[in-house]
Amino acid sequence: MTLDPGLYNYWIVILLMMTGLYTVISRGNLVKKVIGLNVFQVSVIMFYVSMGKVEGGMAPILVEEAEAVYSNPLPSVLMLTAIVVGVATTAVALALAVRIHEAYGTLEEDEILEKEYGAAGPGAADGPVDDHEPG
Amino acid sequence: MLALIDVVLLAFLAVTAVAIVRLRDLFAAVMVTGIFSLLSAGLFTVMDAVDVAFTEASVGAGISTILMLATLAVTQDVEKKRWRRRFSPLALGVVVVTGAALVYGTFDMPRYGDPDAPIHHYLAPHFLEHTPDDINEHIPNVVTAVLASYRGYDTFGETTVIFTAAVMVLMLLGGAATIDRRRPGGGRMGANVVLRASAKPLVPLILLFGLYVQFHGDFGPGGGFQAGVIFAAGLVLYALVYGPDRAQAIFTGRRLEALVALGVLIYGGAGVAGIVLGGEFLDYDLLAADPQDGQHRGIFLVELGVGITVAAVMTTLFLLFTGRGQPAPWEDRVGESEGTP
Amino acid sequence: MSVWLEALSWLSMLAGSLVLLVTGLGVLTLPEYYSRLHATSITDTLGAALVLFGLAVQAGWSLATAKLVMVMLFLMITGPAASHALVKTAALHDLSLPPRRRQEDGDAGAD
Amino acid sequence: MTYFTVATLAILVSMAMLLVRAFKGETVYDRILAVNSFGTKTVLLIALMCFMTGRPDFIDLALVYALMNFISTIAVLRFTRYHDMLDDDDLRARRLSAPIAPAIEEELT
């Protein structure tokens, strides 16, 4: 196989990162935002791990061979803990979402703002309010 | 061949990410997130980061998905379609410009897998060469050695972050943590026979496997973080099939809270022991007569502490989320049609 | 490794690959949920078992084989259990089988 | 090496088809089905990769995948908006009230 990914990995990582960012910016649903953050997080982890790979290397678990080539263990260490910390912080975000839902009865950003500030709240200036919402 | 797998899986990953954004049914989006983390864990294996793959598989595909589902079960599971939601030119513009700038930046990067990249010439060779001398020749897993010993201070911080997160979720959701038997995922001991029969032999096996991962982490992929999550996953399976109240008969909230703290204390204790014995914080060399034995003992204790904390935190999180009360009365969830993209 | 073992491993993996392709094809092309479920649940278990068996023959008698057998056993317990849960969940709720006409039409499902 | 290649390609193609199903969906159950089957494929892919890289003792990874896939499938079914469905009591209760297609009725008994 002579396929060489070159910089392809990094481009996909950037695509993922931007997808996550777009979700966080443009979606009003809080759980969707958390999902977007998760996508973003995975992309960062992927970026680090991609950099750690050495061509023809193997996982940094030492073997008896003298001439073995290993991939870089350092990104693994950093990202391993980052994943577990990531799920813990995701849990905090989700817990906040649950409490917000209990308080406002919705997870939609603009509805929460409406409940907080009334119909002409800070969200109203951003665009035309279309009240023909089905269901 | 591995390069091909890398390219194809990354392409799948990109498509999946776009699908996640476009799905308006949050339930479906969370499920596709499951695929997303399975794919990324596969990619970590291709990139030789087996420990990361281990963690991502257990955390991303398992616990994280379950927590999101539990959240959806007590809140709403369809994103509402209102103004500003479908398409946002401003957000797209920001994203495209940022993305273009980042892509421009990558042209200065070493290509994927380049052995001459600067990252491989600074600390990594040191760790790979000196682990058998500095730490212990019987610990071939360099990731574990770096995690628990070279960068032990950092890992201690991360364990504390997990501890803090658990405390925060307890503060947010712990108040009314009573299990309502009529809630999704709650109560109900008379679960399905087939599931009960297949889960019964699996649960002890999973717990055993968790212990194996915990204590085999020095020699192969694994360690405290992974083992903790796997152990918690066993308990979660039990709670899912037999009902959380049965799981809570053994792991009551109080005991779990104590375990969350115990793990951090073991870790900190191993560090303080170094000071007491006349060295520095987290200096394992002094824990035994021979520095190498001391290192092994220190790593064992630290990993044990991490494992206990992570297992207890993950179980606590699951029980807290599923233990939340009924959805609010204004949410009429019955008869909602499925939203498709 | 003897030629026979090699051939056995080859055959097993090849058969497994075919079965796995059928899984994908079935899920993609079959017309409704229950037939798709039918396509995946059986082929998943069989294909996985075949591929893992092929790998186990490759590995010879080692720790890796023991682990492969564990994976195989695990998939054999969980696969059918998950399929059972899937069909039961769907059957009890909004999804009913389409009317019997599918069979009268003469096999609309398989192609 | 060739059979690894054949099996890997088969798995990748199969994965692509499952992805399409997971995105298209039709019903929520189709998605769950696709995700579950996708997990099995990942397990096999990991097992193959362990052999390709010459470190067959990493099969532990495949085991974790298989495990998590099962648990998350069960969790997904537990938390669908049509919850409670995995209970036999519930089944009996529903059979008295809800109209279930006769074909399924036969199969469940």
Give the pLDDT confidence of B62-89 residue by residue, as tens digits. Answer: 888 889 888 888 777 677 665 445 567 8
Could you give the CA distance from residue B244 to residue B236 in angstroms, rounded to a whole number?
8
Closest CA to C33 of C105, C83, C81: C83
Work out the number of other CB atoms within 10 angstroms of the CB of residue B175: 9
Q: Which chains touch A (3 or more CB pairs under 8 A)?
A: B, D
Q: How far is CA C96 from CA B163, B173, D103, in A?
A: 47, 38, 9
Q: What is the mean pLDDT of residues C63-83?
A: 88
Who among C13, C40, C96 is closest to D33 (CB)?
Answer: C40
Amino acid at B287: L
Contact B79, A27 (CB under 8 A): yes
Closest CA to D48 of B223, A117, C71, B234: C71
Burial of B82: CB neighbours in 10 Å, binned 0-12, 13-18, 19+: middle
A59 to chain D, any CB pair closer than 8 A? The answer is yes
pLDDT at B189 over 80: no
Residue B129 vs residue B16, higher pLDDT: B16
Q: What is the mean pLDDT of residues B174-183?
A: 50
Check residue B312 and give its pLDDT. 93
Contact A122, B70 (CB under 8 A): no
Q: How many CB pairs under 8 A join C and D?
A: 163
Q: What is the mean pLDDT of residues B113-142?
A: 83
Place of tokens 């798709």: C36
CB contact under 8 A, C88 and B192: yes
Least confident residue range of B188-192, B273-277, D52-56:
B188-192
Check residue A84 and give its pLDDT. 87
Could you give the CA distance from residue C50 to residue B235 in angstroms, rounded to a whole number?
31
The full DSSP string for D16-74 is HHHHHHHHH-SSHHHHHHHHHHHHHHHHHHHHHHHHHTT-GGGGHHHHHHHHHHHHHHH
Check residue B104 and give its pLDDT. 93
A75 Cβ contact partners less than 8 Å away, ≥ 6 residues apart = A48, A49, A51, A52, B49, B119
> B87-111, pLDDT tens digit by residue?
678 888 999 999 999 999 999 888 8
For residue C34 the two structure tokens come to 């229950």
What three-state secondary structure class fits B146? Answer: helix
* B202 vs C contacts (CB less than 8 Å): 74, 77-78
A1 to chain B, any CB pair closer than 8 A? The answer is yes
The full DSSP string for B53-66 is HHHHHHIIIIIIHH
Chains D and B, touching by 3 or more CB pairs within 8 angstroms? yes
> A105-124, pLDDT tens digit by residue?
888 888 888 888 876 655 44
C77 to chain B, any CB pair closer than 8 A? The answer is yes
pTM: 0.84
Q: What is chain C's mean pLDDT, rounded?
A: 80
Q: What is the ipTM of this complex?
A: 0.84
Least confident residue range of B213-227, B242-256, D13-27, D86-100:
D86-100
Name which of D55, D64, D84 to mutate to probe chain B: the one with the most chain B Cβ atoms within 10 A of its Cβ.
D64
Could you give the CA distance from residue B227 to residue B206 in angstroms, rounded to a whole number?
10
Q: What is the mean pLDDT of residues B137-143?
A: 83
B199 Cβ contact partners less than 8 Å away, ≥ 6 residues apart = B237, B238, B241, B242, C81, D74
Check residue B16 and give its pLDDT. 93
Contact C95, D100 (CB under 8 A): no
* C89 vs B contacts (CB less than 8 Å): none
What confidence tier does B239 reach under pLDDT thresholds 50, 70, 90? confident
Q: Where are the domains of chain C?
A: 8-93
In this prediction, the residues of chain A whose per-residue pLDDT falls under 50 are 1, 123-125, 127-135
CB contact under 8 A, B59 and A84: yes
What confidence tier does B332 reach under pLDDT thresholds 50, 70, 90? very low
Contact B305, B333 (CB under 8 A): no
Q: How far is CA A71 from CA A86, B54, B144, D3, in A?
A: 24, 16, 14, 26
Check residue A129 and give its pLDDT. 46
* B333 vs D contacts (CB less than 8 Å): 81
Check residue B250 and give its pLDDT. 79
What three-state secondary structure class fits A61? Answer: strand
Chains C and A, touching by 3 or more CB pairs within 8 angstroms? no
